[in-house]
Amino acid sequence: MKLSLKNIHLPLGRFPLDLDVEMEGEVIAIFGPSGSGKTSALDLIAGLRKPQSAFIQIDGLVLADTRVGQSLPPQQRGIGYVPQDGALFPHLSVLANLTYGSRRANGSSIFSMDHVVDVLEISHLLKSGVRMISGGEKQRVALARALLSQPRLLLLDEPLASLDENLKSKGLDLLQRVRAEFSTPMVYVSHSPEEITAICDFMIVLESGRLVSRGHPRELFTTRNVPVLELK
């Protein structure tokens, strides 16, 4: 997948998000300290924030180009978004959450309900209420919900951050399985070098809304000085 975030200017609270970067990889990581603009970058790709200027392109498809006043609404971008807390609809059952976005699905077998539910090991949760399931289960349901909408790109915002070490390890295995089964490109936001080196093949590093480094994660973490590491 080729993802271009060019000429980006999005005013945030203390500083703007200013990016001009082209990325290539199946799982691209956005790394950086808290408040560096990682989630805002995801929101921008999903079409949930209005930038002052932006050119966003995925594999040749232009999602936004403010120079010509073009911006696809979030509904038409085909982006699956899994926010940090999962953002499941609390008044709906797990099953109703899963089917919420599957309206635009066209019955492809890879993205069938049975297959997605099977890969994410949530079949036993379908009839449960969202309030009855654990944090890790919520993340799996949120990921399944996003996958069932057959996205061209998945945005994962620190999906394992709230889990303990044991569950984190299982979560990483699951994410690797999702990557292998569905071949959906991902943008993965995380604080964790371990997670990023395990599943990502390209990484950008943000600090105060600016790009400070880019390249292969293992290379960046081992041979180059990644300034945000010192903040951890």
Contact, 111 vs 181, CB < 8 A? no
Burial class (CB in 10 A: 0-12, 13-18, 19+), 183: exposed
Q: How far is the CB of 182 from another protein (least distance, A)?
A: 17
Stretches 42-50, 166-174, 207-215, 219-227: which one binds another protein (CB under 8 A)? 42-50
- DSSP secondary structure, 75-129, as one string: HHH-EEEE-TT----TTSBHHHHHHHSGGG----STT-HHHHHHHTT-GGGTTSB
Of 4, 40, 139, 149, the one binding another protein (CB under 8 A) is 149
Site residues for another protein, window 108-137 (CB under 8 A)?
131
Query: Of 19 and 79, which has the nearer Cβ to another protein?
Result: 79
Contact, 49 vs 232, CB < 8 A? no
Identify the CA nearest to 161 among candidates 140, 201, 125, 190. 190
Q: Does 140 bind another protein (CB under 8 A)?
A: no
Q: For residue 138, give Cα distances in angstroms to 29, 145, 168, 193.
A: 22, 10, 14, 23
Identify the CA nearest to 46 among candidates 14, 16, 79. 79
Find all residues with CB under 8 Å of 175, minimum gap 6, and list them.
156, 159, 160, 199
Per the listing, tokens 């999005």 go with 10
Of 140, 145, 168, 179, the one binding another protein (CB under 8 A) is 145
Stretches 69-77, 110-118, 159-167, 181-189: which one binds another protein (CB under 8 A)? 69-77
Of 18, 33, 100, 201, the one binding another protein (CB under 8 A) is 100
Q: How far is the CB of 225 from another protein (least distance, A)?
A: 35
Stretches 82-90, 161-169, 207-215, 222-230: which one binds another protein (CB under 8 A)? 82-90
Of 74, 126, 162, 169, the one binding another protein (CB under 8 A) is 74
Site residues for another protein, window 45-64 (CB under 8 A)?
46-48
Number of residues that bind another protein (CB under 8 A): 25
By CB under 8 A, name the binding residues for another protein: 43, 46-48, 73-75, 77, 79-81, 83, 85, 87, 89-91, 100-101, 103-104, 131, 145-146, 149
